């Protein structure tokens, strides 16, 4: 089964992915955790290019194609083989991040992004996607609490950009059946409880 997590930076995805990994392993499931961009030697090099603050001159089109280059490699080198072995693949971000950040956030053509999804993903689409939806004011608070962390090139974007990205995720929640919006302005435990209860009802999970 293929499960992805989406949300704004600091929305708590990594926290929830790692709780789910522990839960599945305690229940004797084989799990493979990935994050995007990254996850293969080539994809990690592309990640450095994408997030490096020094690359401020990077154009939106370049950014989009680099995310999909990294993803094309990850899907073929890691995701498909792992899914073929019956392993649970948990992904901290996947293609919906490109729709939200590069499509809605940067204003790139959404139909072109859909055609990239067809070309790069093919049938390799998550079975379920948890969108941890956190308000911009809560994100701001968490950024301040983590002020020792140096923000990367994309995290340094302004509030208006993040408003458009969140709006993109909300649109996806309305149009994609696999996309589950979870209220992320709550305790870590109550968010995880809801994720588990939704997952346990999924036919592939009960399988």
The footprint of ligand T5A (CB under 6 A) covers 7, 9-15, 35-37, 67, 92-93, 97-98, 101-102, 142, 146, 152, 154-155, 187-188, 191
Q: Are 74 and 13 in contact (CB under 8 A)?
A: no
- CB-based contacts of 148-152 (< 8 A; 24+ apart in sequence): 150/53, 151/53, 152/51, 152/52, 152/53
Residue closer to ligand T5A, measured from CB, 152 or 204: 152
Nearest distance from C-beta of residue 186 to ligand T5A, angstroms: 6
Dist. CA 146–CA 150, nearest whole Å: 9
Residue closer to ligand T5A, measured from CB, 28 or 147: 147
Residue closer to ligand T5A, measured from CB, 132 or 199: 132
Residue closer to ligand T5A, measured from CB, 128 or 195: 195
Secondary structure class of 145 (helix, strand, coil)? helix
Nearest distance from C-beta of residue 11 to ligand T5A, angstroms: 4
Of 156, 152, 179, 183, the C-alpha closest to 168 is: 179
Question: Closest-CB residue for ligand T5A?
Answer: 12
Could you tell me the strand order of the sheet in which 2-6 lies?
Answer: 31-35, 88-92, 2-6, 128-133, 179-183
Nearest distance from C-beta of residue 207 to ligand T5A, angstroms: 28
Question: CA gyration radius for the chain?
Answer: 16
Dist. CA 21–CA 39, nearest whole Å: 16
Nearest distance from C-beta of residue 206 to ligand T5A, angstroms: 27
Residue closer to ligand T5A, measured from CB, 36 or 133: 36
Nearest distance from C-beta of residue 200 to ligand T5A, angstroms: 21
Q: Which run of H or of E encompasses 19?
A: helix 13-26
């Amino acid at each position: 089964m293929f499960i992805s997590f989406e949300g704004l930076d600091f929305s708590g995805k990594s926290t929830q992915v790692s709780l789910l990994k522990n839960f599945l392993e305690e229940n004797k499931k084989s799990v493979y955790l990935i994050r995007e961009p990254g996850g293969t030697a080539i994809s990690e090099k592309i990640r450095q290019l994408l997030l490096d603050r020094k690359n401020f001159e990077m154009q939106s089109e370049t950014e989009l194609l680099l995310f999909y280059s990294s993803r094309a490699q990850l899907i073929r080198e890691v995701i498909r083989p792992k899914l073929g072995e019956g392993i649970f693949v948990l992904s901290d971000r996947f293609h919906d991040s490109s729709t939200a950040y590069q499509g809605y956030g940067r204003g790139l053509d959404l139909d072109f992004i859909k055609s990239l999804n067809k070309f790069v993903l093919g049938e390799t689409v998550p079975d379920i996607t948890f969108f941890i939806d956190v308000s911009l004011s809560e994100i701001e608070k968490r950024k301040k609490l983590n002020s020792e962390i140096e923000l990367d090139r994309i995290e340094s974007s302004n509030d208006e950009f993040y408003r458009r990205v969140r709006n993109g995720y909300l649109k996806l929640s309305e149009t994609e059946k696999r996309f589950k919006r979870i209220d992320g302005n709550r305790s870590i435990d109550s968010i995880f409880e809801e994720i588990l209860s939704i997952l346990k009802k999924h036919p592939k999970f009960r399988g």
